[in-house]
Amino acid sequence: MDTKEILKKVRKIEIKTRRLSDHIFSGEYHSTFKGRGMTFSEVRQYQFGDDVRAIDWNVTARYNEPYIKVFEEERELTMMLLVDISGSELFGTEQQFKKDTITEIAATLAFSAIQNNDKVGLLLFSDAIELFIPPKKGKSHVLRIIRELIEFHPKSNKTDIGKALKYLSNVMKKKAIVFVLSDFMDENYDQTLKIVGNKHDVTGVRIFDKHDEEIPNLGMLPVKDSESGEVMVVNTMSKKVRTRYKAHYLKSVDYYEKSFSRSGAGAISTRVDESYVKKLLGYFKNKGAR
């Protein structure tokens, strides 16, 4: 993909996802993710109805009349996008690959964050840390994130979610809003997720294709494992083969849902041919109502 084509694709994603974040998500995002706490703003004279617990006794003694401390929410937050770019994301049997849906969701979340003057960072991972972009503010920074999501080529096709979470835990010392975007075809990340979930506000966004769920009956079919590169001929006419395939998929979904639930993290699942807008909006509303 040449530079002109990349820029054209970035612009197309910007137009679509920015419209969503401007008109749909920015308000929900603001009400869902609160600031880091209350920070001191000013001292003013006590007025009838003010909370007496807020009285500043030092200033009151100095002026011989009651004054109170005024606090406001410390609004600025940091969002980290952890994006799986392993080989399995380059799979799709509907309108687009899982990778394309992941890019759109990540862009929508990033624009929602900068609408609220928050910082956004990006971590691309396979079974290694492929790229880390430290959190920053601004539209140009978000456009760089979108460009990397579109054109970055991983060195590995495999997946290690635990390694990505561990890296995040090491580099992010302050609490952040963390979105992990993947098909979650991986295991052995539950313990690390629990540690990260104790410190950060974590949400998993599982993106999947209908043929991740079950393999159709198409006869003898050469199948390539997108992560190992191994090609094998699979008899999709066999009910036993199709049942085993579905059982493997359901096991990974069960692990994902239980791991995120036990760690206190949020979890969303959306198929590439479904509306991720409805899924995200519903999640934000439910989370904000708690």
Which of residues 233 and 194 earns the better pLDDT score? 194
Domain shared by 46 and 159, yes or no: no
- Return the minimum-mean-pLDDT range out of 170-179, 231-240, 243-252: 231-240
pLDDT at residue 44 is higher than 70: yes
Domain shared by 42 and 162, yes or no: no
Q: Give the model's confidence band at 224: pLDDT under 50 very low, under 70 low, under 90 confident, else very high.
A: low
Q: Write down the pLDDT at residue 195.
A: 95
153: Cβ–Cβ under 8 A, 6 or more apart, which residues?
A: none
Question: Residue 267's domain is classified under what CATH number?
Answer: 3.40.50.410
Q: Write down the pLDDT at residue 288.
A: 65
pLDDT more than 90, % of the chain:
43
- Return the minimum-mean-pLDDT range out of 54-63, 72-81, 135-144, 235-244: 72-81
Average pLDDT over residues 273-285: 87
pLDDT at residue 43 is higher than 60: yes
Domain shared by 216 and 174, yes or no: yes
Q: Write down the pLDDT at residue 234.
A: 75
Tell me the pLDDT tens digit for each residue of 72-120: 555 578 999 999 998 776 555 556 788 999 999 999 999 888 888 889 9
Q: Give me the domain span that covers residue 274.
A: 3-32+76-288
Q: Write down the pLDDT at residue 34.
A: 60
Q: Write down the pLDDT at residue 94.
A: 57
DSSP string, the chain: --HHHHHHHHHHHHHHHHHHIIIIIHHHHHHHS--S-EEEEEEEE--TT--GGGB-HHHHHHHTS-EEEEEEE----EEEEEEE-SGGGS--SSSS-HHHHHHHHHHHHHHHHHHTT-EEEEEEESSSEEEEEEEE-SHHHHHHHHHHHHH---S-----HHHHHHHHHHH--S--EEEEEE-----S-HHHHHHHHHHSEEEEEEEE-HHHH-----SEEEEE-TTT--EEEEETT-HHHHHHHHHHHHHHHHHHHHHHHHTT-EEEEEETTS-HHHHHHHHHHHHHT-
pLDDT at residue 219 is higher than 70: yes
231: Cβ–Cβ under 8 A, 6 or more apart, which residues?
A: 222, 223, 224, 225
Domain shared by 66 and 182, yes or no: no
Q: Write down the pLDDT at residue 12.
A: 80
Domain shared by 225 and 165, yes or no: yes
Strands 119-125, 129-136: pairing kind: antiparallel
Q: What pairs with residue 55 in β-bridges? A: 68
Q: Write down the pLDDT at residue 53.
A: 85
Domain shared by 69 and 81, yes or no: no
pLDDT at residue 210 is higher than 70: yes
Q: Write down the pLDDT at residue 167.
A: 97
Domain shared by 62 and 150, yes or no: no
Domain shared by 174 and 56, yes or no: no
Distance in angstroms (rounded) separating the CA atoms of residues 227 and 87: 5
Domain shared by 272 and 225, yes or no: yes
Locate 182 and state its tokens.
């993947």
Domain shared by 126 and 224, yes or no: yes
Q: Write down the pLDDT at residue 194.
A: 96
Q: Write down the pLDDT at residue 289.
A: 64
Average pLDDT over residues 122-147: 95
| Cα first-last separation, the chain | 45
- pTM of the shown model: 0.78
In this structure, the chain runs to a length of 290
- Select from 73, 96, 123 the last residue of a domain: 73
pLDDT at residue 9 is higher than 90: no
Locate 187 and state its tokens.
């295991």
Domain shared by 117 and 208, yes or no: yes
Instruction: Count how many domains the chain has.
Output: 2
Domain shared by 131 and 53, yes or no: no
Q: Write down the pLDDT at residue 102.
A: 94
Q: Write down the pLDDT at residue 232.
A: 74
Tell me the pLDDT tens digit for each residue of 11-42: 788 887 877 777 666 666 666 776 555 556 67
Average pLDDT over residues 272-279: 88
